[in-house]
Every structure is written in C-alpha cells, then in structure tokens.
Amino acid sequence: MQCITSATVADLFDIAATRRIEQAAAAALPHHTLMQRAGLAVARLAMAVAPHARTIWIACGPGNNGGDGFEAAAQLQHRGFLPIVTFAGDEDRLPPDARASLQRARDAGVIFAPEPPATWDLAIDALLGIGATRPLANAMADWLRQMHAMASPVLSVDVPSGLNADTGASSATPHPGALSPRFCLTFLTLKPGLFTAKGRDAAGTVWFDDLGCSGTAESPAARLAGAPADAPRSHASHKGNYGDVAVIGGAPGMAGAALLAGSAALHAGAGRVFVGLLDPDAAAVDLAQPELMLRDAKALDLSGMTAVCGCGGGADIRAVLPRVLATAAALVLDADALNAIANDGALQAQLASRARRGRPTVITPHPLEAARLLNCTAADVQADRLAAARQLASRYGVVAVLKGSGTVIAGDGSTPPVLNLTGNARLATAGTGDVLAGMIGAALATQRPAFEAAREAVWRHGHIADTWPAGAPPLTAGALARQAPC
Ligand SMILES: NC(=O)C1=CN([C@@H]2O[C@H](COP(=O)(O)OP(=O)(O)OC[C@H]3O[C@@H](n4cnc5c(N)ncnc54)[C@H](OP(=O)(O)O)[C@@H]3O)[C@@H](O)[C@H]2O)[C@@H](O)CC1
Ligand SMILES: Nc1ncnc2c1ncn2[C@@H]1O[C@H](COP(=O)(O)OP(=O)(O)O)[C@@H](O)[C@H]1O
Ligand SMILES: [K+]
C-alpha cells in the first residue's frame, strides 16, 4: 500500500483500462481473491487512520464496491472493532464476489442495520466505485451527505462514490463546509479523476494498493508529474546561460500583472528579465525591483528571447500579438493574450504555425480562458479537463497548461498528459497565474523542452503554496514570486 504525494511519479489509467486489468488479474487468481485482498486492505487502512475507532459505519452499495465494504466489515469484526453495515442494494442482484463477501460478513457476526448508527468514529464509503453510471439518489445520496457532515474521517473505497474516475467530475462532492477528513484507498490502478476537478476534494489523501497485480501493457491515460530534479548551476556559468525573458503586458491600470510575471521570472533564475509595458505612461524603473529592465513593448527584439505575453495586457495586447507570435524564440501566452487569440482566426493560424517553425509555445489558460479557446463553456472544460488540455495542445500545436485544482499539462501527444499534485487554494488569489507564467518563462529560457519546462514550473509554483508556513501571513502573488525557486 502506497500513500500518493505530490512527489509520486505514477501512471494513471482510465476505467476501461482498469476493467481490462481487473479481468486479467481475476482470471489469473483463484475465485474471490481480489475482493478478499481489497477488503483486507480497506480494513488495514481503516485501522491506520482511526486506530482508536470503535464504531465503524460501512455504507455498502449494490455492486462490487459494496462487496469490498462487506469484506472489510468481516475483517474489522475479526479484529475486535464494531463495524455496522448499511446496505443500499438488492441481495438477489449482487454480483457473485460481492455476494460471497456479504456471506462472510454475516458469518463473522457483523451487524447489519437499516439506518446509519447515531455516531461513528470512522465511516467507510463502499457505495459506488468505477461502476457508477448516474448521480446518487435516495438512501445512497443521503448516507454520503451524512458521512461528510460529521467530523469523523471518511475512507472511500476505490473511488469516492459519485466521482467519475476518468474525469474527476462529480454529482456528489462534499459541500465546501463539509467537516470530515477524507482518505481514499484505490485498487489495481490510480485513476485520473482522483486528482483533478472535484477529485482532490472528494478523495482527500489517496492511497494505492495494486492487490498484488503489478505490471500492465495498458497505455496510461495520464501521469502524475512528480517532483523535478534539482538542476545545480555549473560554477563557470554566466547570465547568458539562463536566457532572456521579456514580459509583455501591463496595459494602463494593469502594470502590476506584468511586473509580477517579471519578478517571478527573475526569482526563478532567468539571466535577464525585460518588461515591455503597454502603458505609455508607465514608470521607467520599478524601484522595488530595479533588476527588471522596463522597456516600451514595441521596442523589444524578441528573436533571441522567451516572451511571456498577456499578463495584464487588456485589449491592447491584440496589437502586439502578431509581432510576438512571429518573432519570439520561445513563448508563454497567458490571460488577455489567450482571450485575444480566442477571438481572432488570424492569430490562431499564426499561433499554430509556430510549431511548424519549431518555435516552442506554452499556453496557460484557466478553465474560462480554455473554454474561449475551445469554443465551449467552462463547465464543459471542467467536465473533462484531460480531454480539454489535449484538445488545446493539438489544436494550437502548443504545450497546454490547464490551471486549477489538479493542473493538467498536455503536449504533442507523444507522451500522455501530466497531472500536477502540488498547489492548494492558497493560490486562489489574484496574480498567482501571472507568477506561474513568469516561472514557466524562466524555465523555457534555459532551452529546456517546453513540456518539461512547464511541468517543472507548475510543480514548483504549487510547492511554494504547499510549504507556506501555517502561521505566516497570507500568500500573496508578490510573495509567491519572490519565493520562486531556480
Ligand atoms: N470484481 C473484482 O474482482 C474487483 C472489484 N473491485 C471493486 O469493484 C468495483 C467495481 O464494481 P462494479 O463494477 O460492480 O461497480 P460498482 O461501482 O460497485 O457499482 C455498480 C453497481 O451500482 C449500480 N449503480 C451505478 N450507479 C448507480 C447510482 N447512481 N445509483 C444506484 N445504483 C447505481 C449499478 O447498477 P446499474 O447501473 O446496473 O443499475 C451496479 O449494480 C470497484 O470500484 C472496486 O471497488 C475491487 O474489489 C477489485 C476486485
Ligand atoms: N485550489 C487550487 N489548487 C491548486 N492550484 C490552484 C488552486 N487555485 C488556484 N490555483 C492556481 O493558481 C493560479 C491562478 O491562476 P489564474 O486563475 O490565472 O489567476 P490570476 O489571473 O489572478 O493570476 C493557477 O496556477 C492555478 O492552478
Ligand atoms: K466508493
């Protein structure tokens, strides 16, 4: 059993591949072995997360996910705990493995009750797993609500019930004020939906057990990014080795966004950072950051530079985009640059032509910006973030960084998209996206492949938020930029 952290590198498999892996594993093992292993693993994790628990409420559903719950109940009963099972299903329609486990729970003396106990020390959600086909209703929906409303921990079996294991979309996410600490023990494969969209909130800390069935020829749907390796600087290196970044943005009233991106690029280790402000009345120097070289955006020669374009760009960014798209050696497109491109077929064609000219481009949309680029709604994007990132990457010939909880990074399709596990809601404050754009710019400026540059910068950006001390002042975008590690 393995606890998944932001440093974990692992393949993620969709439901279809998981089903094939499960079938192959089941065929190679004696009848009922997988469910017995799954139930035992649930019982072990339950004892680890709630060692002093007495009453353990196990809510079991109508399929094999419920079977895992019956099996866990039997194991916990044998170990002296008090599991109480509520079953929302029809015994006559249980799949054979689940029926066998139901019998084992009865034989062990487990209590079956029509309603949840009055209180519990741990709740185990074994209602639905990868077989969920529609939103939860009736008793199952009610039980899930009750679990999440209590302060006792919730352990989800395989997948939090109601969560789409492929996409992270959910009809049953705990409401924001939900109290319970959450854990999820997933079997055979790690599933992408646990790590993006609603998945992070629903699953909590994810644990993985391969049930003794490692190794598969199935293609992963995505990967967990893992932590980037440290890249020590050679002693004899000089600023030319770390590249020039030119931030272009900062229309009247929005200079701060461009300066934040510049600060992030600087602290992330770029050799030189220029900031081309679109505001004609902008100051000639930022006295708080004198290292930044402030220029007129139109005067910058981008042919040897990594441009970071769009932060605080407003409508004025449209006028400079044709030249930026044509001349920047490498490019990060953010915010208003993406909005301008979404509305302009000529700019879209120009963007797509960069890949053909071997000029790397990274785009960093949040879900609404992604929706504009894909001509759909933000809800459509959130309904399948992996698919949306893949579409952005292939339609525009770019590395697409789809931001938000479980940021997705998709490239040219030669490798699966990556899901990043660092970051938290401390980043939900204005300007943190500008900082990310600057950090990616600095990574790109060192000539690293665009996919790797984006992956590393996204990980580091989120890691700053994850390691921000609990008692420290709130994380602002300016502080985030100053923490940007090389
Ligand atoms: N077999 C094995 O060896 C192993 C299996 N494993 C475990 O099995 C799980 C997959 O099991 P599964 O395929 O039975 O799917 P599961 O998630 O239990 O649900 C299917 C049932 O729910 C029903 N249903 C669906 N949605 C519903 C809704 N909203 N409201 C009400 N009902 C709904 C659906 O009915 P139907 O849609 O047909 O009406 C069907 O009856 C997997 O996640 C893992 O935990 C592990 O132990 C490893 C070994
Ligand atoms: N809950 C969260 N979990 C992880 N990352 C988050 C979360 N909320 C925000 N972020 C990150 O913060 C950044 C916000 O970017 P963006 O929405 O463009 O903000 P802004 O335009 O204000 O700079 C993105 O990198 C996003 O992934
Ligand atoms: K479940």
pLDDT of 142 reads: 95
Which residues have any ligand 2 atom within 6 Å of their CB?
335, 366, 403-405, 407, 423-425, 427-428, 430-434, 436, 462
* HSE-up (13 A, CA, CB side) for residue 448: 22
Best substitution site from 364, 432, 475, 476 to test ligand 2's pocket, by max atoms within 8 Å of Cβ? 432
Given the DSSP bridges, would you call strands 10-12 and 222-224 parallel, antiparallel or unpaired? antiparallel
| Under 8 Å between Cβ of 102 and 70 | yes
Query: What is the spatial distance between Cα 376 and Cα 81, in angstroms, rounded to a whole number?
Result: 51
Axis-axis angle for helices 64-78, 96-108 (nearest 10): 20
User: CA triplet 218, 65, 75: central angle to 5 degrees?
Assistant: 110
Residue keyed to tokens 């599933």? 191
Residue 375 labeled ligand binder: no
CB atoms within 10 A of CB 134: 8
Determine the Cα–Cα distance for residues 363 and 335; give it in Å rounded to an integer: 9
Report d(CA 82, CA 73) in Å as an integer.
9
Residue 131 known to bind ligand: yes
In the chain, list all ranges with CATH 3.40.1190.20. 239-483
Q: How many Å apart are CA 119 and CA 117, to the nearest integer?
A: 5
Distance 4 CA to ligand 2 centre (A): 22
Please report how the helices 367-374 and 335-342 are oriented relative to each other, as an axis angle in degrees rounded to 10. Answer: 20
Task: Tell me the ligand closest to 212's alpha carbon.
Answer: 1
Rounded to the nearest whole angstrom, what is the distance from the C-alpha of residue 203 to the centroid of ligand 3? Answer: 10
Tokens (6 digits) for 449: 């492949």
Distance CA 296, CA 325 (A): 17
Write out the chain's pLDDT in tens, 486 residues: 999 999 999 999 999 999 999 999 999 999 999 999 999 999 999 999 999 999 999 999 999 999 999 999 999 999 999 999 999 999 999 999 999 999 999 999 999 999 999 999 999 999 999 999 899 999 999 999 999 999 999 999 999 999 999 999 997 766 666 778 999 999 999 999 999 999 999 999 999 999 999 888 899 999 998 999 888 888 888 888 889 999 999 999 999 999 999 999 999 999 999 999 999 888 888 888 899 999 988 889 999 999 999 999 999 999 999 999 999 999 999 999 999 999 999 999 999 999 999 999 999 999 999 999 999 999 999 999 999 999 999 999 999 999 999 999 999 989 999 999 999 999 999 999 999 999 999 999 999 999 999 999 999 999 999 999 988 888 999 999 999 876
Break the chain down into helix, strand, coil percent, rounded to 5: 40, 15, 40
What predicted TM-score, i.e. pTM, was given to this entire model? 0.95
Q: What is the largest CA-CA distance in the chain?
A: 81
Q: Is the CB of 157 under 6 A from ligand 1?
A: yes
CATH topology of domain 239-483: UDP-N-acetylmuramoyl-L-alanine:D-glutamate ligase (3.40.1190)
Structural contact between residues 51 and 80, judged by C-beta atoms closer than 8 angstroms = no
Ligand showing the shortest atom-to-Cα distance for residue 404? 2
Ligand nearest to the CA of 22: 1
CATH class of 2-219: alpha beta
Q: Does 189 sit in the ligand 1 pocket, CB within 6 Å?
A: no
Residues of the chain with CATH 3.40.50.10260: 2-219
Reported residue count of the chain is 486
For atom 16 of ligand 2, the residue with the nearest CA is: 433
Cα separation, 420 vs 405, in Å, equals 9
As a dihedral over the C-alpha atoms of residue 192, residue 196, residue 201, residue 204, rounded to 10 degrees, the angle is 40
